[in-house]
């Protein structure tokens, strides 16, 4: 594997990993930001629901108080003081009073808990409503949620109860308004938010049938508490609503679309893909440019080393920088100079040794013929000195 290819891989991998890390961080931050915004919006919507609930509750209490103070109801309470009073002639009195006060429900109930007149279900005349007589001070109870029986179904109502006493007789005035889609439509929801109400009287009416919503409602019914669940398309928050006896009567569902988040994450991922492709191209260009700058002095060094290895002791590496490659080139040049100097010394020493060997051999060759001549000359000298 060439150095150029290694440089290309390292640069490309570095850029791609950096882009991937940045994309993951941005996606995580965006997701958390959207989830935090959805949670804040849901809390604000729940607070607005509570304020609307209290406002409508105060309106219902005011209207029930007005019904209790009306002349017709006051006269009915006085008549109930007579133990022989026949209430059968009053079975239809609740409807006009309810219409006058814009109430969806109104029941006039006698001291024994039996319905005297019902505006929402006139046929329930004479039915027993034991829950009304279970509390003595309804004024302190305030407004509460309760299931109301209708002719064909049940409805969730926001109710209030008032009592009128005349002698030993007691008249209960119980009524209120529906908690339905019209109530939810009054809430200020955003374009990507949808509010539904799941009640025991009309479960999942108008609510999208999805596994997310079904599982969320099952969990809330098993253990009533506020829960939130999310999938790729939406975030659903379930807020339980309790009745007078702390029984779960309905669940407010706040659904927030995640389409904006999905679109933004898709845009981020597409942008990251484009940036990654551009990074690969840029890495290719940078790798070739960087590899050329890095490998060119290395190629010069390799060529110089090969020339020295082939016997060209005058070869020198080209030093163009002061970095590690330049230092390596200077070291190679210094090493080549030292080798050249040592070679010259070796050659000189070999020459001196050769001349010494030649002189030794020449002296030996000359000494052999001269030795007899020396003896002859010495004998002649001694003969001359000895006389004739």
The per-residue pLDDT string of the chain (388 residues; one tens digit each, 9 = 90 and over) reads 666 667 667 777 777 787 778 778 877 887 778 778 777 777 777 787 778 888 888 999 999 999 988 888 888 888 877 777 777 778 888 889 999 988 999 999 888 888 989 998 888 888 888 888 887 777 778 888 888 888 888 888 889 999 888 666 788 999 999 887 777 777 776 677 777 887 765 555 555 567 878 888 888 888 888 888 877 777 888 888 888 878 888 888 888 777 776 777 777 777 777 777 777 777 677 777 776 666 677 777 777 777 777 777 666 666 666 666 667 777 777 787 777 778 778 888 888 888 888 888 887 777 777 778 888 888 888 888 887 6
Contact present, 155 and 148 (Cβ < 8 Å): yes
Q: Is 355 exposed, middle or buried (0-12, 13-18, 19+ CB in 10 A)?
A: exposed
Q: How many Å apart are CA 229 and CA 353, to the nearest integer?
A: 99
Count CB neighbours of 159 within 10 A.
28
Q: How many Å apart are CA 72 and CA 62, to the nearest integer?
A: 17
Q: Which of 194, 177, 202, 154 is nearest to 52 (CA)?
A: 177
The number of CA neighbours under 13 Å toward the Cβ of 12 is 15
Q: How many Å apart are CA 175 and CA 180, to the nearest integer?
A: 16
Q: How many Å apart are CA 46 and CA 187, to the nearest integer?
A: 10
Q: How many Å apart are CA 81 and CA 24, to the nearest integer?
A: 77
Q: How many Å apart are CA 1 and CA 361, to the nearest integer?
A: 61
Contact present, 257 and 34 (Cβ < 8 Å): no
Q: How many Å apart are CA 333 and CA 335, to the nearest integer?
A: 5
Give just the sign of the alpha carbon dihedral 145, 146, 147, 150: negative
The predicted model scores a pTM of 0.61
Q: How many Å apart are CA 69 and CA 52, to the nearest integer?
A: 25
């Amino acid at each position: 594997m060439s150095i150029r290819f290694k440089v290309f891989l390292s640069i490309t991998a570095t850029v791609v990993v950096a882009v991937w890390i940045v994309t993951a961080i941005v996606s995580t931050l965006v997701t958390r930001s959207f989830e935090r915004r959805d949670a804040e919006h849901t809390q604000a919507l729940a607070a607005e629901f509570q304020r609307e609930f209290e406002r409508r509750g105060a309106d219902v209490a005011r209207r029930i108080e007005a019904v209790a103070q009306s002349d017709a109801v006051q006269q009915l309470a006085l008549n109930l003081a007579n133990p022989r009073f026949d209430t059968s002639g009053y079975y239809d009195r609740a409807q006009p009073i309810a219409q006058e006060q814009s109430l969806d429900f109104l029941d006039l109930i006698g001291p024994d808990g039996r319905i005297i007149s019902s505006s929402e279900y006139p046929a329930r005349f004479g039915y027993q409503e034991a829950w009304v007589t279970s509390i003595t001070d309804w004024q302190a109870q305030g407004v509460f949620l309760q299931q109301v029986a209708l002719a064909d179904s049940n409805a969730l109502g926001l109710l209030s109860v008032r009592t009128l006493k005349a002698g030993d007789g007691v008249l209960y005035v119980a009524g209120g308004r529906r908690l339905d889609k019209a109530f939810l439509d009054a809430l200020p929801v955003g374009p990507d938010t949808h509010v539904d109400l799941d009640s025991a009287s009309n479960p999942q009416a108008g609510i999208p049938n999805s596994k997310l919503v079904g599982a969320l409602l099952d969990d809330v019914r098993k253990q009533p508490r506020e829960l939130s669940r999310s999938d790729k398309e939406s975030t659903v928050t379930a807020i339980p609503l309790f009745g007078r006896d702390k029984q779960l009567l309905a669940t407010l569902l706040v659904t927030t679309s995640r389409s904006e988040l999905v679109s933004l994450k898709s845009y981020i991922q597409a942008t990251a893909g484009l940036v990654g492709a551009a990074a690969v191209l840029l890495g290719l260009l940078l790798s070739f440019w960087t590899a050329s700058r890095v490998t060119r002095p290395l190629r010069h060094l390799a060529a110089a080393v090969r020339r020295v290895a082939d016997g060209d002791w005058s070869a020198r590496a080209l030093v163009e920088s002061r970095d590690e490659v330049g230092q390596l080139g200077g070291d190679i040049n210094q090493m080549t100079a030292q080798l050249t100097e040592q070679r010259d010394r070796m050659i000189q020493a070999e020459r001196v040794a050769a001349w010494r060997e030649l002189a030794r051999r020449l002296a030996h060759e000359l000494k052999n013929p001269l030795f007899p001549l020396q003896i002859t000359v010495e004998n002649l000298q001694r003969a001359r000195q000895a006389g004739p």
